[in-house]
Amino acid sequence: MPTLEWIGKDKVVNHHQEVPYRVLERQYSYDEAGQHVKDNGSENMVIHGDNLEALKALLPRYEGKVKCIYIDPPYNTGNEGWVYNDNVNDPKIKKWLGEVVGKEGEDLSRHDKWLCMMYPRLKLLQRLLAGDGAIFISIDDVELPKMRLLMDEVFGSSNFITTIIWHKNYAPKSSAKYFSEDHDYIVCYAKSKITWFPNLLPRTEEQDKVYKNPDNDPRGLWRPDNLSARNPYSLGLYSITCPGGRVIPGPPKGRYWVVSEEKFKQMDADGRIYWGKDGNNIPAPKRYLSEVKQGRVPQTIWEYGEVGTTQDAKKDLKAIFDGEMPFDTPKPTRLIERILQIAADPDSNILDSFAGSGTTAHAVLNMNKADGGNRKFILVEMMDYADSITAERVKRVIDGYGEDKKAVEGTGGNFSYYELGPVLMLPDGNLNEEVGVQKIREYVYYMETKEPLPAKQPADESYFMGLCRNTAYYFYYERESVTTLDYAFLSAIQTKAEGYTIYADLCAIPQETLRLHNITFKKIPRDIARL
């Protein structure tokens, strides 16, 4: 399998493991009652911060639990500015490249920079994706070949699904130097091709209108099918006598009837053959609308009439923001809805870590309103407009926007807005006590069990975290004092389990006794695993 090499790869290939784990700090919640400090319990998230660190922060709760990922990363066309079609010159990225790659980061080509930026983010996205999930990535011709090789390396070439062509413009650009660029690509990979299957798309009116019922067949609407095919069939050569008296000596030259004579007679007796108005037409099997798939298989070319254009996306964004255009390169909401129709279920987690103007959240809210689903969105945006554009759009979609005939009814729904908080582990290896014990407990429990910390905690066991696979977990931690696992602590344990894992600063119980009672002692902070 071909591999992709670039300057700086050796520095970033394992960088996702070195990224510090930061806690997420909720700033406010929003729902139909407006913005408020109180947590509304929403699972929808808008996160402001470096998406590399944000993805790391999501692991304890969402590793392996995201059904559908859509990202619209920088296309890296060489245009100035960090607005999704760029040369990766944003100061935050340049600083990150300098810290990770080193001094040679200043000399990297824009393609090297782009690859260095994308690789560790894709590694974390792969961990977040569910076993039956898929990721969709918007890209254009500039980085498509490199993106394919990058995805082959991170997700595995065997998990490549397809490359979709999105016809994004309805009119050619007369200002184009060579060709009018009328399409973008959407690359699709599964976490595991063996376990991922696309949903069928809704049938269109155009597809259904060819079904009629001129003979009042009690089975309902049908369309005529072809009785012959080119595939050789030993039982497909026989004469047919029509009800009107015409004798058909056999199928057309070079073709074969698709069913045997016996099967054909059975179909005719069952009223499943149409002979034409005079009964002398070449017989046509009836294909009933009720018996076809109640949906259509997704195709790889998406026309703008079905999923929208870049112009549609800009028009919608202007409507949401009262005639202003706060973001240069939005995607149409229908485009993201199409992806969700194919790859998400009504109760799925959906992640967009290059959130931009917030189109993905808009699509999720639209679909939930339409079918009563409970899809959850997680948006990450590194730029400072995360609140003023990304989150603001979500607010307006929830509430409704526009006036008079152009008014759009609100979808309802909710979300919480987060900032990246402090690191959990200090550079010296100690716990950052400013984080708070609850965030530390969430992290430790996840690292032990790969499950989220249970929301309900027993009031009479303050150090108990949870019971998982018949092991009870305790985090015996006090900010202002040293804790010791001793017999007094053991005597206070109330939870019955086959085994116990107990974190504390010190242990005063002999190893033989711990082994006898199936107790594992872990020292704080030394034995806390790192993400």
Give, for 163, the enclosing helix (H) or strand (E).
strand 160-167
- Lowest mean per-residue pLDDT among 89-103, 139-153, 201-215: 89-103
Read off the CATH number of the domain in which 78 is found.
Answer: 3.40.50.150
CA distance 398 to 410: 5
Tell me the two tokens of residue 384. Answer: 């400072």
Q: Is residue 137 part of a domain?
A: yes
Same domain for 71 and 46? yes
Three-state helix/strand/coil letters over 31-74: ECCEEECCCCCCCCEEEECCHHHHHHHHHHHHCCCEEEEEECCC
Three-state secondary structure call for residue 185 = strand
Same domain for 401 and 469? no
Same domain for 428 and 513? yes
Overall average pLDDT of the 140-167 stretch: 95
Q: What pLDDT does 85 receive?
A: 43
Q: What pLDDT does 109 receive?
A: 80
Overall average pLDDT of the 11-40 stretch: 94
Same domain for 370 and 514? no
CA distance 286 to 306: 29
CA distance 148 to 4: 10
Same domain for 398 and 500? no
Q: Which of 291, 314, 344 is the last residue of a domain?
A: 291
Same domain for 455 and 377? no
Domain that holds residue 152: 13-91+120-200+299-419
CA distance 272 to 269: 8
Q: Is residue 101 part of a domain?
A: no
* Residue 73: count of CB within 10 angstroms of its CB: 19
Same domain for 400 and 380? yes
pTM, to two decimals: 0.86
Q: Is residue 102 part of a domain?
A: no
Mean pLDDT score of the chain: 92
Residue 307 contacts by C-beta under 8 Å, 6 or more apart in sequence? 166, 332, 334, 335, 337, 338
Please report, rounded to a whole number, the percentage of residues in the chain having pLDDT higher than 70. 96
Query: 3 versus 127: which is more confidently predicted?
Result: 127
Helical packing angle, 110-128 and 91-100, nearest 10°: 80
Q: Predicted confidence band at 370 (pLDDT cuts at 50, 70, 90)?
A: very high
Residue 212 forms beta bridges with which residues?
A: 222
For residue range 300-321, list pLDDT tens digits in order: 999 999 999 999 999 999 999 9
Q: What pLDDT does 405 receive?
A: 86
CB of 135 within 8 A of CB of 156? no
Same domain for 439 and 412? no
For residue range 27-38, list pLDDT tens digits in order: 999 999 999 999
Q: Predicted confidence band at 111 (pLDDT cuts at 50, 70, 90)?
A: confident
Terminal CA-to-CA distance of the chain, rounded, Å? 30
Overall average pLDDT of the 155-163 stretch: 97
Same domain for 179 and 322? yes
Same domain for 78 and 170? yes
For residue range 437-488, list pLDDT tens digits in order: 999 999 999 999 988 888 888 888 899 999 999 999 999 999 889 999 999 9
Please report, rounded to a whole number, the percentage of residues in the chain having pLDDT higher than 90. 76
